[in-house]
Amino acid sequence: MGRNRRTVPTGRTGPITARTVRGTSPMTLHRADTYRLRFDRYLRQGTSIELPLERKDDLSPERYVWRSRRDEKVRPAHRANDGRIFSWSTPPETGHPGMEPDCRCVAVPHREGETEFAEHTFTSGLASSYGRWEDSDFVWHLFTGGGRTVTLEEIGHLREIAEYHAYSSGGDGAFRRLSDQIADAARDSTPGSVHHDFGKANDFGDVAFSHGNSTVAGAFDGTAERRGNMISIAGETNFNFYDVFTGPVDLRDFAA
């Protein structure tokens, strides 16, 4: 289960594109470490120095919205940060955008009631007290389990499947895609509520070969409140994982 919180424009505009401001803008202290890292790379590799500096006229310079490039090159931890609001004085565990080597993420100054942001986080526990199944365990269960359905928690794959789906599946992760889909549903919904069904097969072979192409389906239910030119959305998403294992030759199907 996940909780989604999002503020989006009421009109059908595209996603806000982060801008990298280049020039001679004064550098604040919280960007000094980023500049030092980029300058060190310039000396060693000749890499040009480009920094996501905030403008002098920003109305809310203390907080920013993390924007990633939303492609397969983005680190999973940075995908998890995408769309969230952070404070310059309290950096996330990853550090601020651009601080890690080769990070292309940028910080967009957050203006209350104007800047689009989204936050989708897990609310159900992902820990498991069971041992992690290997591919041989899937085959053993096929012949000895009597057709009994098992859960991801029972096979010790819950956290890996959930986090892979949320932050890596499809290149940009399901949380990012769902946030956009929920925003579109909110624009088309009756004011006060929003519902969105979803379901898609994804390749989970990176977690375990036996999973292969498995389906994750579910629904989002929440509220949508118009605030000026924006919509504030809050609610919960339920996810269900489906896979059917049919034989040791084809390890791509399994009930979990």
What pLDDT digit, counting tens, does each position of 180-201 carry?
Answer: 899 889 888 877 889 999 999 9
State yes or no: pLDDT of 44 exceeds 80: no
Model pLDDT, residue 14: 31
Percent of the chain with pLDDT strictly greater than 90: 22
Model pLDDT, residue 219: 94
Model pLDDT, residue 127: 85
Model pLDDT, residue 25: 33
Model pLDDT, residue 10: 40
φ/ψ bin of 207: left (φ > 0), alpha (ψ from -120 to 50), beta (otherwise) = alpha
Contact 198, 179 (CB under 8 A): no
Mean per-residue pLDDT for 106-133? 82
Joined tokens for residue 204: 């989970």
State yes or no: pLDDT of 52 exceeds 70: no
Q: Pick the residue with more confidence: 153 or 20?
A: 153
For residue 63, the Cα-to-chain-centroid distance in whole angstroms is: 19
Could you tell me the pLDDT band of residue 236, with boundaries at 50, 70 and 90? very high
Mean per-residue pLDDT for 236-249? 79
Question: Mean pLDDT lowest for which of 53-62, 92-101, 123-132?
Answer: 53-62
Model pLDDT, residue 27: 36
State yes or no: pLDDT of 145 exceeds 90: no
Lateral strand order in the sheet of 85-87: 85-87, 63-67, 106-109
